[in-house]
Amino acid sequence: MSEREEHRAPVSLSGLSENDPHLLPLAKNPKTVEGVIAVNFVLGTLLTAAFGACYWINAKPWTLGATLGGGLFFFGVGLVAWGKYLMPRGPFVEERHTLANSEADRDAFAAAIVERGGNVMKRRKMLGGILAGGLGIFGVVAMFPVLRSLGPVPKGTLFHTDWRKGSYVVDQTGRRVSAGDLAVGSIVTVFPEGTENTDRGQVVDQTVLIRVSNQKFTTQKGRESWAPLGYVAYSKLCTHLGCPVGLYEQQLQLLVCPCHQSMFNVNNGAVPQFGPAPRPLPQLPLYIDSAGFLRAQADYNQPVGPGFWERA
Amino acid sequence: MSEITATNKRARRKAEGRYGKVGKALNELDDRLGVAKGGRTFMDKIFPDHWSFMLGEIVLYSFVILMVTGVFLTFYFIPSSAIVTYHGAYLPLDGQKVTQAFSSTVNISFAVRGGLLMRQMHHWACDIFVGAMVVHMARVFFTGAFRKPRELNWNIGVTLLTLAITNGFLGYSLPDDLVSGTGIRIAYSIVLSIPFVGTYLAFFIFGGNFPGTSTIPRFYILHCLIVPLIIIGLVGAHLFLLVRQKHTQFPGEGRTEKNVVGSPMFPVFMAKTTGFLFIVGGFTALLSAFAQINPIWQFGPYDASRISYAVQPDWYMGFLDGALRIWPSWSFHSFGHTIPFEVLVPALILPGIIFTLAAAWPIIERLYTKDNEIHHLLDRPSDRPKRTAAGVSVLAFVTMLFIASSTDVIANFFHISLNTVLWLMRVTTILVPIIVYPITYKICKEMQAVHGAGKRKTPNIVSRTVEGEYVATPTPAYQDDRGHDLEATAVPTFIEVEPEEPNEGGVRTVDR
């Protein structure tokens, strides 16, 4: 067995003689390894330079990534190889000292806190009490402006939409929808007129208008007049987490939410048929005015979208 | 002539001291700061060599990449919901009304030189950051590195994981594209679901009803300053504790509870770890060069009434998304109030339980084993079958939730009904962790019984006797593999055996 392969017990770094076998490199052929590392460093340098050139001429983004990544990678491999194969191979050992201090030190520390500090507090109980109480009140009071200024109070905003009695039903471009616009089985996203370009309109008022075939449609109790000529309108906000219920499965007459796959039965009051949504999509009562335009009879009769504590 | 030069050189060296200019500079430094002793100790600090100790380095270095690329992005990103008309390099969007956040992100991708690379590196580094964190955490868990005295560092780690996930979500929300906007919408609804205070909390966090114009500026300052500051502080504390308590190490030749065996900080570890920083950076850059991530110009700007199909959040949010998908629609409506359990449980209570369990594990394990010893030598996972099985079981549960976040894609890919997939996921998410526990336990037990498991195979010497019989004699284990078995003394006794009471001959004592 050569000197290189001989067994080496871990030694301490300090007091090691210069020709200790622990300080030799791990590599059996250091010259070759050195050459390989040199190649790595040269490649790293070339690619890094190429990165600069690519940046200078504003080349395609992938060339930037490839040259930068390749350059860093070769530098990294070279450095790791240098550390692993050409530096002192060890293994070296370091003593681990107990973290805990002596009993006397611990006692002195505890005494400083418990006795010296505790005695001060015990003697001036009233002062400590007032200070703690005062700072406590300050802490609570300081929270008020911080919290209160962050946003408005919800009030009724979650309960109502901008649909009003007589609101014209318009599509995303603001065009009013009239009775002849949709074929049976068609769907369009609609808004109350005037809100189609507003954030709130898109978030709260968004409604899907579907023209259903009257034979398969089950009218819900109390909603007999809500869907004239098969035009049925549901809130587009999923009752699970408020995603837009954007997928319409025409064959099965289902509205599907792409976020968490809740399915609502269009023909039966948008009752959730499957998935995590707990409630039907609220239905918007519609009527057709004398000019043939679709209009809302009133706002939704319940809050739209996901559940919250104040919702009845 | 040459003699004079030599004398001069020698004279100069003598004047400069034994270690030349560097030595002089170090002396000056020591005069002022007194760093010589501590510095030497630090240079001599020993790092144990094991591939699994590099996982934490991946986390650290991807964090470095995140900071560098993140600073670059802040130069060009405008955190504003103000509406502008896009006129830029990406023609399909030309003339569209979009928010400044969206248009500046598209500009970073198309107009800023190197911008797309920086954006993609930032996103990839984040996915690697959280991923390496989870793997590092698993290593620490399965080898028992969290035991006394390192419980505090374990808890810092768990906190860092939650902060990393939070900051990932905040950053993902900033470009205001269709996908991230939907993400914020879901987050808003989740806050809304908290009983009593949910609506107020949502209004205060997001500055009013969804979407509002405060979300992006607020998320920006949280994402770029506040959460990173906390992360930097905790990473500092994590590393300080690591230096203070010194590394753990696997049992082996010459390794005891009272020492650390490995390579010194300088120059060996420094070379290797700097090289590794470059490798992680290089890997991230290559990934960003060839693998597209988050092409927001394809998603388009956020419009609350539009949505896209089969869009998944970043992988580390997947388990929450999956939980939201498979949890049943149990909602509480009564007494004029609603408690949306269908959101509250999977989105808040479930992750709360998982992370609390993780944070409390060192205490839970100590209550069970009564083991209050200091441990610096690591466990082989198979030597702690119950802990290993418990960890694998929880990982299996979270993995099932993660898979459940793609129910629609699975249904589409295998052409089975969505309902079937959903029910399958509901059942398997509960069953798989239960099945995985005993299997892992059994595998660990078997591995304990296999002689030489986890060690390199040594050759057998086969010899033929005079009678013609062949005899195989195993050669001893390799030097480095010796002593890998745990010392029996470090293992606590689980079952306390009562000392046998001296029994008088023929007399039976009965307690009443």
The pLDDT value given to residue A2: 42
Chain B residue numbers with beta carbons less than 8 Å from the beta carbon of A155 are none
Nearest-CA neighbor of A306 among A279, A283, A270, A284? A279
Please say if the pLDDT value at position B486 is more than 80. Answer: no
Are B289 and A279 an interchain contact pair (Cβ–Cβ within 8 Å)? no
Of the pLDDT bands very low, low, confident and very high (cuts 50, 70, 90), residue B2 is: low
CATH classification for the domain delimited by A169-296, as one of 2.102.10.10, 3.20.20.140, 2.30.30.40, 2.40.50.140: 2.102.10.10
What contacts B133, CB < 8 A, 6 or more positions away? B59, B157, B160, B161, B164
Please say if the pLDDT value at position A306 is more than 80. Answer: yes
Chain B residue numbers with beta carbons less than 8 Å from the beta carbon of A71 are 282
The model's pLDDT over A40-61, given as tens digits with 9 standing for 90+, comes to 999 999 999 999 999 999 999 9
Nearest-Cα distance to chain B for A57, in Å, is 10
Are A278 and B287 an interchain contact pair (Cβ–Cβ within 8 Å)? no
Q: How far is CA B391 from the centre of its chain?
A: 15
The pLDDT value given to residue B162: 97
Neighbours of B201 (CB within 10 A): 17
Of the pLDDT bands very low, low, confident and very high (cuts 50, 70, 90), residue B493 is: very low
Nearest-CA neighbor of A51 among A59, B274, A73? A59
Residue the block writes with tokens 């000019």 = A291
**Is the Cα torsion angle B430, B436, B437, B439 positive or negative in sign?**
positive
Of the pLDDT bands very low, low, confident and very high (cuts 50, 70, 90), residue A154 is: confident
Please say if the pLDDT value at position B149 is more than 90. Answer: yes
Please say if the pLDDT value at position A285 is more than 80. Answer: yes
ipTM of the complex: 0.91
Q: Is B124 helix (H, G, I), strand (E, B) or coil?
A: helix
Q: What are phi and psi of B459, to 5 degrees?
A: -70, 150
Q: What is the mean pLDDT of residues A58-82?
A: 95
Chain A residue numbers with beta carbons less than 8 Å from the beta carbon of B408 are 258, 261
Q: How far apart are CA A149 and CA B204, in angstroms?
A: 8
Are A312 and B267 an interchain contact pair (Cβ–Cβ within 8 Å)? no
> Domain spans of chain B?
2-34, 48-321+343-350, 451-485
H or E stretch covering A294: strand A294-296
Q: Percentage of chain A with pLDDT > 90?
A: 56
> Domain spans of chain A?
1-95, 103-148, 169-296
The pLDDT value given to residue A89: 87
The pLDDT value given to residue A1: 36
Please say if the pLDDT value at position B295 is more than 70. Answer: yes
Instruction: Tell me which of A142-151, B48-57, B98-107, B339-348 is least confident.
Output: A142-151
**Is the Cα torsion angle A60, A61, A64, A66 positive or negative in sign?**
negative
Please say if the pLDDT value at position B453 is more than 70. Answer: no
Of B260, B263, B285, the CB nearest to A68: B285
Q: Please, what is the average pLDDT of chain A?
A: 89
Q: How far apart are CA A20 and CA B276, in angstroms?
A: 28
For B293-343, the DSSP string reads ---HHHH-B--TT---SS----GGGHHHHHHHHHS----EEETTEEE-HHH
Q: What is the mean pLDDT of residues B287-297?
A: 94
Of the pLDDT bands very low, low, confident and very high (cuts 50, 70, 90), residue B452 is: low
Of the pLDDT bands very low, low, confident and very high (cuts 50, 70, 90), residue B487 is: very low
Please say if the pLDDT value at position B451 is more than 70. Answer: no
Nearest-Cα distance to chain A for B411, in Å, is 11
The pLDDT value given to residue A304: 93
Q: Please, what is the average pLDDT of chain B?
A: 88
Question: Residue B248: left (phi > 0), alpha (psi -120 to 50), or beta?
Answer: beta
Q: What is the mean pLDDT of residues B102-115?
A: 94
- Give the mutation candidate from A22, A45, A47, A92 for the B interface (greatest B CB count, under 10 A): A92
Greatest mean pLDDT among A77-81, A248-252, B404-408: A77-81
The model's pLDDT over A178-222, given as tens digits with 9 standing for 90+, comes to 998 999 889 999 999 988 888 777 888 999 999 998 778 888 888
The structure's pTM equals 0.89
Chain B residue numbers with beta carbons less than 8 Å from the beta carbon of A235 are none
Q: What is the mean pLDDT of residues B389-409?
A: 94
Greatest mean pLDDT among A88-97, B11-20, B219-228: B219-228
The pLDDT value given to residue B3: 54
Contact B324, B301 (CB under 8 A): no
Chain B residue numbers with beta carbons less than 8 Å from the beta carbon of A261 are 325, 407-408, 418, 422
The pLDDT value given to residue B202: 92
Which residue has better confidence, B312 or B366?
B366
**What kind of fold does domain B48-321+343-350 have according to CATH?**
Cytochrome Bc1 Complex; Chain C (1.20.810)
Closest Cα in chain A to B312: A259
The model's pLDDT over B38-53, given as tens digits with 9 standing for 90+, comes to 999 999 999 998 999 9
Which residue has better confidence, B490 or B166?
B166
Please say if the pLDDT value at position B78 is more than 50. Answer: yes
Instruction: Tell me which of A99-113, B199-213, B318-332, B486-500 is least confident.
Output: B486-500
Nearest-CA neighbor of B57 among B328, B329, B239? B239
The pLDDT value given to residue B222: 95
Are A76 and B205 an interchain contact pair (Cβ–Cβ within 8 Å)? no
Of the pLDDT bands very low, low, confident and very high (cuts 50, 70, 90), residue B497 is: very low
Contact B271, A80 (CB under 8 A): yes
H or E stretch covering B272: helix B270-290
Which residue has better confidence, B437 or B211?
B437
Are A308 and B304 an interchain contact pair (Cβ–Cβ within 8 Å)? no
**Size of chain B, expressed as the number of residues it contains:** 512
